[in-house]
């Protein structure tokens, strides 16, 4: 006990359920009951708190504070039966192995209750608890009203809280059986500590996740704040909340606003209703809405954890009251499993990306369902299958004939890629044939051009099965192009991260050098921060994009099996998928480092002016800190909507970095913020991000933070940020005598330093 008392108190993780103030406390353990009393002047003890665990049969009880933080009372017998434990009565903090849920046998509920004030542990008005029906989702309750719903458990995390899956330090567990239902967690690293706190600050309610290494003196905190779509049932019954929608709310297909007047006033409380009442007929089917946080499960009357998705559709179609169905879990995140069906209004549905949400199928009249929809009825599926088999057999024979003929032509013409090289590549990436890629892009038509990368033109392609792809074709087989091509494929093939573009394969037939990527629906970030689409992104979404880019860069620098320096990080190389998730692309200039390598020197400087660090552009020295510099420029561009390569009038002509520094020193940093973000931003967060950007663009590489430090500063509002040193900013002009050749492509300047002979 002395050792415990001598340790520095960092935080309180448990307090009694009744706030008490005691001048002279008295403690005793009697019949298994832990009692705290106060001695009065008449020597009478007044009980102010008790564990209420009195049992006359208890012999020699003992109270023990375990290393887990659990205060337990046990019977000092051979069996050591547990009499009482503090973990059964959580307050505002969840520690590893604590439960958040309910005991179905005793009716005991494990929930978190916020403190009334930061220094007042009296119970506040907000509660984090598990629902006692449906799929047992978590709810944030404020003044007895639902504020946020976690969504159902998909086997790894609650679908409405995808941040859970990105926190690799915590191992999440959800248990649902006949006796109890609860959520708990443990630490991935046994030498670390963690906690989840539920707290309120004025009108702000959030969870706060803490993490601490065994040898660290300070805790690292991550706050989970809520956006508009996170608010419970924001769009009303049968409404769909979509953060990509300017007004957030929309109705499902086949539905319309219940009150168009309220809807026009941004009041979505009444939600939506069907265009026509559904009758129980065969002229109906199911439309796949997309990947969503599925509706609240309390309005569903049936679910089965073991049913296949096909059986689920049959069951729902055979029940006239079933209006929608969805899988419950994702087995290894690939195969949907289980079945949940809704028989009433769809409440609190939110659009998500493919990696986070579950597929929802909505019952509609057939005329509202596209013929190629995955939700078509089985009648259509069977009919098309029969026809499809015949067509496939015919096409298969034709394809074999065409390929044999083409192979003969290729053999005659020759190729610069040897047979041994092709065999080696087959083990690493998927090889596409040129004919397939040419057909998918309409013979590489100019109408299919969607951009220009580091060494070639990018086309949109559509495969025979309907899959959309991005095809990057080397313009001419130069030595530099081939090296870049080989470099990019080898690197990307080994990289797997949600914030990196996915390489599907490549083609090396004849003299062709072609890369095939996943198709990004929203193209590149530069169109959204510099172009007419600027107003489509609010501040919370930009914060997600910023942190996503940072996580992708951290993966390249630290978390992947390889250490990779990108060397050309810029808005044009940040692609956005259909849910506006950022993905770093274009690895043609990237370099691979050894595990212990810190920097490298090159005479061949390749990159984009305005994003290259001083030591790289002037001396050819690059390291992970070179990418940090580029990220800092990118961060300031996102905040301001201004390009770094343009001079801006202030007291004199200043580029973006000089302007940010000048405004910061004058206490006017907020003037850097793009006006379109003023209504959606958090001012302290904006100022913090600007300061982080200035730290990243400091002149000396050693002064810049690492990407792990950057992510901590971006995600943790309480971490300290030191003052940035003033960099020796180079201005926006480009002296060709210093940098060599200057190539202008899509208004982006690409530099290549000439080597002396």
CATH 2.40.37.10 correct for 18-88: no
Q: How far is CA 57 from the centre of its chain?
A: 53
User: Are the C-beta atoms of residues 286 and 313 closer than 8 Å to each other?
Assistant: yes
Residue 12 has pLDDT above 60, yes or no: yes
Q: What is the mean pLDDT of residues 205-231?
A: 59
CATH topology (fold) of 526-752: Transferase(Phosphotransferase); domain 1 (1.10.510)
Q: Who has greater pLDDT, 125 or 206?
A: 125
Distance CA 36, CA 34 (A): 7
Q: What is the pLDDT at residue 595?
A: 54
Q: What is the pLDDT at residue 404?
A: 52
Q: Is 540 helix (H, G, I), strand (E, B) or coil?
A: helix
User: Which active-site residues does the annotation give?
Assistant: 568
Q: In the chain, what are the domain boundaries?
A: 18-88, 91-226, 230-379, 412-518, 526-752
Task: Count, in order, helices (H) and strands (E) of the chain.
Answer: 16, 46
Average pLDDT, the chain: 77
Q: Who has greater pLDDT, 524 or 169?
A: 524
Q: What is the mean pLDDT of residues 282-310?
A: 84
Give exposure, 102-113, as e/b (b: 16+ Cβ within 10 Å): beeeeeeebbbb
Distance CA 729, CA 426 (A): 47
Over residues 478-517, the pLDDT tens digits come to: 444 555 566 567 667 778 888 999 888 888 776 788 889 8
Distance CA 523, CA 574 (A): 8
Over residues 548-602, the pLDDT tens digits come to: 999 999 989 887 777 888 888 999 899 998 889 999 988 777 787 755 556 665 5
Identical fold at 18-88 and 91-226?
Answer: yes
Over residues 237-266, the pLDDT tens digits come to: 999 998 766 678 899 999 999 988 888 778
Residue 419 has pLDDT above 70, yes or no: no
Q: What is the pLDDT at residue 135?
A: 81
Binding residue ranges: 472
Query: Which of the four pLDDT bands, split at 50, 70 and 90, describes residue 476?
Result: low
Task: Give the list of residues 6+ apart from residue 43 with CB closer than 8 angstroms, or none.
Answer: none
Between β-strands 239-241 and 349-351, what pairing exists: parallel, antiparallel or unpaired?
parallel
CATH 2.90.10 correct for 91-226: yes
Question: CATH number of 412-518: 3.40.50.720, 3.40.50.970, 3.30.390.30, 3.30.200.20?
Answer: 3.30.200.20
Residue 26 has pLDDT above 80, yes or no: no
Q: Is the pTM of this model over 0.75?
A: no
Binding residue ranges for ATP: 472
User: Are the C-beta atoms of residues 71 and 14 closer than 8 Å to each other?
Assistant: yes
Query: Which of the four pLDDT bands, split at 50, 70 and 90, describes residue 330?
Result: low
- What is the full DSSP assignment across 682-729? -HHHHHHHHHHHHHHT-SSGGGSPPHHHHHHHHH-TTS--PPPPPP--
CA distances for 492 relative to 109, 448, 525, 628, angstroms: 48, 24, 20, 20
Task: Give the list of residues 6+ apart from residue 123 with CB closer than 8 angstroms, or none.
Answer: 17, 113, 114, 115, 116
- Written as six digits, the tokens of 662 are 């000048």
Q: What is the mean pLDDT of residues 118-136?
A: 82
Q: What is the pLDDT at residue 159?
A: 78
- Taken in order 376, 378, 379, 385, is the CA torsion positive or negative? positive
Q: What is the mean pLDDT of residues 522-537?
A: 85
**If you search the block for the tokens 């971490």, which residue do you land on?**
719
Distance CA 399, CA 397 (A): 6
User: Are the C-beta atoms of residues 414 and 488 closer than 8 Å to each other?
Assistant: no
User: Are the C-beta atoms of residues 151 and 141 closer than 8 Å to each other?
Assistant: no
Q: Who has greater pLDDT, 690 or 389?
A: 690
Q: What is the pLDDT at residue 742?
A: 26
Q: Who has greater pLDDT, 303 or 217?
A: 303
| Size (the chain), residues | 757
Q: Who has greater pLDDT, 135 or 705?
A: 705
User: Are the C-beta atoms of residues 47 and 37 closer than 8 Å to each other?
Assistant: yes
């Amino acid at each position: 006990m002395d050792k415990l008392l001598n340790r520095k108190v960092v935080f309180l993780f448990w307090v009694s359920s009744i706030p008490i103030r005691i001048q002279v406390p008295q403690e005793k353990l009697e019949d298994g009951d832990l009692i705290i009393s106060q001695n009065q002047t008449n020597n009478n003890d007044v009980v102010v708190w008790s564990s209420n665990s009195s049992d006359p049969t208890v012999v020699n009880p003992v109270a023990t504070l375990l290393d887990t933080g659990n205060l337990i009372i046990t019977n000092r017998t051979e069996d050591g039966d547990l009499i009482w434990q503090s973990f059964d009565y959580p307050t505002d903090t969840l520690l590893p192995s604590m439960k958040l849920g309910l005991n179905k046998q005793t009716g005991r509920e494990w929930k978190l209750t916020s403190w009334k004030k930061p220094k007042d542990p009296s119970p506040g008005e907000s509660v984090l608890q598990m629902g006692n029906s449906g799929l047992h989702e978590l709810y944030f309750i404020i003044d007895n009203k639902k504020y946020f719903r976690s969504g159902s458990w998909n086997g790894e995390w609650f679908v409405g809280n995808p941040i859970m899956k990105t926190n690799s330090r915590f191992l999440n567990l959800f248990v649902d059986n006949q006796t109890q239902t609860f959520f708990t967690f443990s630490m991935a690293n046994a030498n670390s500590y963690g906690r989840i706190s539920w707290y309120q600050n004025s009108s702000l309610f959030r969870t706060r996740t803490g993490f601490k290494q065994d040898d660290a003196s300070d805790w690292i905190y991550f706050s989970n704040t809520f956006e508009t779509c996170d608010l419970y049932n924001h769009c009303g019954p049968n409404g769909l909340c979509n953060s990509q929608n300017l007004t957030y709310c929309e109705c499902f297909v086949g539905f319309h606003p219940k009150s168009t007047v309220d809807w026009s006033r941004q009041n979505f409380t009444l939600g939506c209703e069907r265009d026509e009442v559904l009758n129980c007929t065969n002229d109906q089917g199911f439309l796949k809405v997309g990947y969503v946080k599925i509706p609240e499960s309390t309005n569903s009357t049936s679910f089965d954890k073991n049913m296949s998705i096909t059986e689920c559709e049959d069951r729902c179609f055979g029940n006239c009251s079933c209006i929608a169905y969805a899988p419950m879990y994702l087995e290894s995140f690939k195969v949907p499993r289980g079945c949940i069906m809704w028989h009433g209004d769809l409440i609190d549905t939110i659009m998500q990306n493919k990696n986070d949400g579950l597929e929802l199928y909505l019952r509609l009249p057939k005329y509202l369902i596209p013929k190629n929809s995955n939700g078509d009825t089985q009648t259509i599926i069977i009919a098309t299958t029969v026809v499809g088999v015949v067509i496939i057999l015919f096409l298969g024979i034709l394809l074999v004939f065409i390929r044999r003929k083409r192979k003969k032509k290729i053999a005659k013409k020759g190729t610069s890629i040897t047979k041994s090289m092709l065999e080696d590549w087959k083990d690493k990436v998927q090889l596409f044939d040129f004919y397939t890629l040419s057909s998918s892009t309409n013979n590489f038509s100019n109408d299919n051009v969607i951009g220009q990368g580091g060494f070639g033109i990018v086309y949109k392609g559509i495969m025979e099965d309907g899959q959309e792809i991005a095809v990057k074709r080397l313009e001419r087989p130069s030595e530099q192009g081939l090296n870049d091509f080989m470099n990019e494929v080898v690197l990307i093939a080994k990289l797997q991260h949600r914030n990196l573009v996915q390489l599907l394969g490549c083609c090396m037939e004849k003299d062709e050098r072609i890369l095939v990527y996943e198709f990004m629906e929203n193209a590149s970030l530069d169109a959204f921060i510099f172009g007419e689409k600027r107003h489509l992104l609010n501040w919370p979404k930009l914060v997600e994009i910023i942190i996503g880019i940072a996580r992708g860069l951290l993966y390249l620098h630290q978390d992947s099996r390889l250490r990779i320096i990108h060397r050309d990080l810029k808005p044009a190389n940040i692609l956005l998928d259909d849910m506006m998730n950022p993905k770093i692309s274009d690895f043609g200039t990237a370099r691979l480092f050894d595990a212990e390598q810190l920097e490298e020197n090159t005479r061949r400087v390749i990159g984009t002016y305005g994003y290259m660090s001083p030591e790289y552009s002037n001396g050819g020295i690059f390291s992970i800190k070179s990418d940090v510099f580029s990220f800092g420029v990118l961060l300031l561009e996102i905040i301001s909507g201004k390009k770094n390569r343009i001079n801006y009038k202030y007291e004199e002509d200043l580029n973006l970095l000089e302007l940010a520094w000048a405004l910061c020193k004058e206490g006017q940093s907020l003037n850097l913020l793009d006006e379109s973000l003023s209504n959606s931003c958090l001012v302290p967060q904006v100022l913090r991000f600007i300061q982080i950007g200035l730290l990243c663009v400091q002149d000396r590489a050693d002064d810049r933070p690492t990407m792990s430090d950057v992510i901590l500063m971006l995600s943790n509002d309480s971490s300290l940020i030191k003052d940035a040193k003033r960099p020796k900013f180079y201005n926006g002009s480009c002296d060709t005598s210093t940098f060599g050749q200057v190539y202008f492509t899509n208004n982006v300047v690409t530099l290549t330093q000439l080597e002396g002979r």
